[in-house]
Structure 1
Amino acid sequence: MKRTIKEIADWLSIDSVDFVETVVTGVSIDTRTISQGDLFIPFRGESVNGHKFVEQAFEKGAAASLWLKDEPNPPKDKPILFVDDAELALQQMARAYRNQHRGKFIGVTGSNGKTSSKDILASMLTPFYKVQKTIGNFNNQLGLPITLLNLDEDTEIAVLEMGMSGFGEIEFLTKMAKPHFAIITNIGEAHMQDLGSREGIAQAKFEIIQGLDREGILFYDGDEPLLQHLVNKETHLQSKSFGFQSSNDLVATSIETTEKGSRFTVRGELNGEFFIPVLGKHQVKNTLNAMLVGKAIGLHEEQIRQGLAQVTLTDMRMQLVPTEKGIIFINDAYNAAPTSMTAAIQFVQTTSIREDKWLVLGDMLELGENEKQFHEQIASVIDESKISRVCLFGSRMKWLYEQLKGKFAEANLLYTNDDYEKIVQYINQYADDQSLILLKGSRGMKLETILKSF
């Protein structure tokens, strides 16, 4: 954004300000990443008071700063905006800027695949439009407004990821972003402990339509009956479904994977063969929603094909990592839930990239009272005739370990509660230039730590 202090003060209903002509070109809540021209937003938490860093923010190039009215000793002779609540002010500014922005906005939510779908869509559109997307996981009540306020004035398409852990959160975000198009990638089991059931998760994700433009379109996983049921109840909602079942508006078939990526055929809204330089059948499904959005925006089939061919994903999403020792890792360690864990394991079992296939799996978190059952059920996915060795990391993976002891020889199955080095040594001992090793676990397990040793 590019707004004067006076314009921002108007957004915040502040009557009297100094430095009215000072121009702000973005926002930041962290002096370590502040950019020239940013408005610094200090938060006051239990352990850290951001007001202590306001002077440092100005030294690093901040154009202005917010300041809580009840916080003593504000800086003298600096562009300061006094507010009652920093978080509410941030959100108020984001709504005002969004209402003035002329770009197309796309909201993306779902249990798994949000970031991959966001990356695929943004990459596909970039050759034809000026595109900005959510950086990292800035997808909550703080991250989304920061993303909105850092959009350039001339951005044509904004791809916005929306995350949640409870009811009402997606509704809050979507009403702020007001998307022209909305995507629900799938319904999994993450946040089961907060939402109680997959039905509850589906209902929470479906809140994204609450902020959808009146002429907007929802794109959703048509293989998921819970979503289909919710769509059927919204008689005035424009929607398109994607998936592997023939009833969808866009269907993917004949999926082939190599070291270079995935080739697949689609029929329905689009027809023909397409390629993405990304691994995994589940990533093909994430590509389908991007293709539907691309068509709705106005891309023709050849442009979609061209855009998909140069897609790149954020690190740790089915990322192929070769090493000096010759081992190839698939780094999918950003997050995990039963749905995505199953998809990654099935990919490894069916790929022809390497013959010696390993699984290094970490705990799946936030699964609620059925977490033991969810971990044990992964055993039914793992085919011992296709997987050479399994390493399990974390207290919850002990449940899977107990299930696998009867399927794998003792020498081919390793369990550790919290020792990365034990797994590193095991890999060094038994893996070679014919080995393909999947790293998959929830974010809190930090399985990428193992990769650093190679």
Structure 2
Amino acid sequence: MKRKLTELASWLEASGQLLEDITVTGATIDSRNIKKGELFIPFRGEHANGHAYVRSAFENGAAASLWLSDEPNPPEDIPLLFVEDAEIALQQLARSYREQLTCKVIGVTGSNGKTSTKDLLASVLGEEFTVRKTEGNFNNELGMPLTILALEEETEVAVLEMGMSGFGEISFLSKLAKPDIAIITNIGEAHMQDLGSREGIAKAKFEIIEGLSQNGTFYYDGDEPLLTALVNQHPELDAHAFGCGDACDLSAKDIQVTEQGSRFTVSGQIEGHFVIPVYGEHQVKNALAAMLVAKKLGMTEDAIRSALLNAVLTPMRMQPVTAKSGALFINDAYNAAPTSLRAALTFIGQTELRHDKWVVLGDMLELGQDERHFHESVADQLANLQLKGIALYGPRMHWLYDELLARKTDVELIWTENDYAPIVGKLLESINDQSIILLKGSRGMALENVLKGVLETEA
């Protein structure tokens, strides 16, 4: 964004001071990381008042700042816009700027795979377009407006990730972003404690169509009956399904794991053989969404094939890391829910990359009153994987540990509540160049520390 401060005042219908000849080139809510020319937006919270940092924001390069109308003693020597509510003002700025952008906007949501799909879209489309995407976890009611305001005028495609924890949130983000293309990657069990059921989760995710442009296109997981049922209720939608089922508009078959990643064959709206440099059937399905969008925007199948092969994903999503010992770690520690955990375990069960198989699992969070059942039920799948070892971390994983003990499994089994060291030690004494180790847990469990411990000790 590059706009005169007087224009921002008009967008907000706000009064101000010293507005003339000031140009704003973005917005931030963090005075410590402000870039020259940005608008500082001070928030007033329980533990801190952002107005106390307005001066330092200017010292760090801010061009102007918002100021809440009921906040006393505004400084008189710096450019200010006076507003009633900082959050609403931020969102209104993004809404007004979005109206002026000419880029294609792609909105992505889902229980799992949002970030991987966003990364695949940005990698593939980036071969032919100027693409910007949501960075980090800027996917909520504050992060998305900041992402929109950071878009350059010359951006051709913006890939916006949309996160949520309850009803109404995706609707709000979708109406703010006004996507030309909307994607739901899948429906899992994350946020079950807030939404009550998978049906509730599906309804909340499906809110993404509420801001879809009049001639917009919707892509969804065609293997999920809950989404198919919702799509059938909206015959007006230009909807296309991706997945592994024959009824999908783009279907993946013959998924094979190689040292280079996942090789697969597709049929439907695109035909042929493709490779992505990441593991797992669920990642293949994420790639299908990116392929459909790329074709929609005019890319050839050969261009899509080449771009997928060189795609770069955010770390800790089925990320292969080879230790000094030659052991292969699959770092999928960014997050976990029952659906994504089952997918990762399916990969470990099917892979022939290594034959000495370990899994390191951390607690799955935000599962509500059925969380014990979800943890204990993993034992059924683990029993069929021919593993050498299972390491469990976190208080909830003790339910799974007890379940496995009751089954008298002969697999090496270790549980620790809050200390990574016993797991690191067990791995160091057990793994070698024939080992493959899956790391999977919710973000709050930070299982990448197990990998870090192994790599630092080996060094």
Bin of the TM-score, shorter chain as denominator length:
over 0.9
Q: Give the deviation of 1:87 after TM superposition.
A: 0.3
Matched, 1:104 2:104: yes
Counterpart in the other structure of 1:47: 47
Letter in 2 for 1:195: L
SS of 1:381's equivalent? Answer: helix
Counterpart in the other structure of 1:193: 193
SS of 2:315's equivalent? Answer: coil
Counterpart in the other structure of 2:350: 350
Q: Separation in 2 of the partners of 1:310 and 1:124? A: 8
**Matches for 1:362-441 after TM superposition, within 5 Å:** 362-383=362-383, 386-407=386-407, 409=409, 412-441=412-441
Tell me: CA distance 1:179–1:385, structure 2 relative to 1, closer, same or farther (3 Å): closer
State the Cα deviation string for residues 59-117 of structure 1 (Å, max 9, x = none). Answer: 11111111111222323311111111100000000000000100000000000000000
Letter in 2 for 1:57: A
Q: Is the 8 Å Cα contact of residues 16 and 80 (structure 2) preserved in structure 1?
A: no
Q: Separation in 2 of the partners of 1:358 and 1:35? A: 45
| Further displaced range: 208-217 or 375-384 | 375-384
Q: Give the deviation of 1:345 after TM superposition.
A: 1.0
Matched, 1:142 2:142: yes
Matched, 1:309 2:335: no
| Further displaced range: 415-424 or 75-84 | 75-84
**Matches for 1:13-412 after TM superposition, within 5 Å:** 13-383=13-383, 386-407=386-407, 409=409, 412=412
| Further displaced range: 228-237 or 443-452 | 443-452
Q: Is the 8 Å Cα contact of residues 349 and 383 (structure 1) preserved in structure 2?
A: no
Q: Separation in 2 of the partners of 1:175 and 1:134? A: 17
Letter in 2 for 1:167: F
Letter in 2 for 1:212: L
Tell me: CA distance 1:404–1:15, structure 2 relative to 1, closer, same or farther (3 Å): same
Tell me: CA distance 1:58–1:16, structure 2 relative to 1, closer, same or farther (3 Å): closer
Q: Give the deviation of 1:359 after TM superposition.
A: 0.5
Q: Is the 8 Å Cα contact of residues 181 and 217 (structure 1) preserved in structure 2?
A: yes
Letter in 2 for 1:340: S
State the Cα deviation string for residues 207-228 of structure 1 (Å, max 9, x = none). Answer: 0000001100110001101000
Q: Is the 8 Å Cα contact of residues 15 and 82 (structure 2) preserved in structure 1?
A: no
State the Cα deviation string for residues 220-272 of structure 1 (Å, max 9, x = none). Answer: 00110100000001011110000000001000001111121111100000000
Give the TM-score of the pair, scaled to structure 1.
0.98
Letter in 1 for 2:238: Q
Q: Separation in 1 of the partners of 2:437 and 2:76? A: 58
Counterpart in the other structure of 2:12: 12
SS of 1:405's equivalent? Answer: helix
Q: Give the deviation of 1:384 after TM superposition.
A: 5.4
Q: Separation in 2 of the partners of 1:411 and 1:373? A: 22
Q: Separation in 2 of the partners of 1:256 and 1:222? A: 21
Q: Give the deviation of 1:411 after TM superposition.
A: 7.1
SS of 2:382's equivalent? Answer: coil
User: 4+ residue stretches of structure 1 with deviation over 3 A?
Assistant: 406-411
Tell me: CA distance 1:374–1:104, structure 2 relative to 1, closer, same or farther (3 Å): same
Q: Give the deviation of 1:41 after TM superposition.
A: 1.0
Tell me: CA distance 1:408–1:299, structure 2 relative to 1, closer, same or farther (3 Å): farther
CA RMSD of aligned residues (A): 1.3
Q: Give the deviation of 1:20 after TM superposition.
A: 2.1
Q: Give the deviation of 1:385 after TM superposition.
A: 5.2
Q: Separation in 2 of the partners of 1:161 and 1:52? A: 32
SS of 1:422's equivalent? Answer: helix
Q: Give the deviation of 1:324 after TM superposition.
A: 2.4
Q: Separation in 1 of the partners of 2:385 and 2:25? A: 57
Percent identity over the alignment is 59
Letter in 2 for 1:110: G
Q: Is the 8 Å Cα contact of residues 384 and 408 (structure 1) preserved in structure 2?
A: no
Q: Separation in 1 of the partners of 2:146 and 2:64? A: 15
Q: How many equivalent residue pairs?
A: 454
Letter in 2 for 1:183: I
Q: Give the deviation of 1:15 after TM superposition.
A: 3.9
Q: Separation in 1 of the partners of 2:19 and 2:210? A: 38
Structure 1 unmatched ranges of 5 or more: none
Q: Separation in 1 of the partners of 2:52 and 2:44? A: 10
Give the TM-score of the pair, scaled to structure 2.
0.97
Letter in 1 for 2:222: G
SS of 2:432's equivalent? Answer: coil
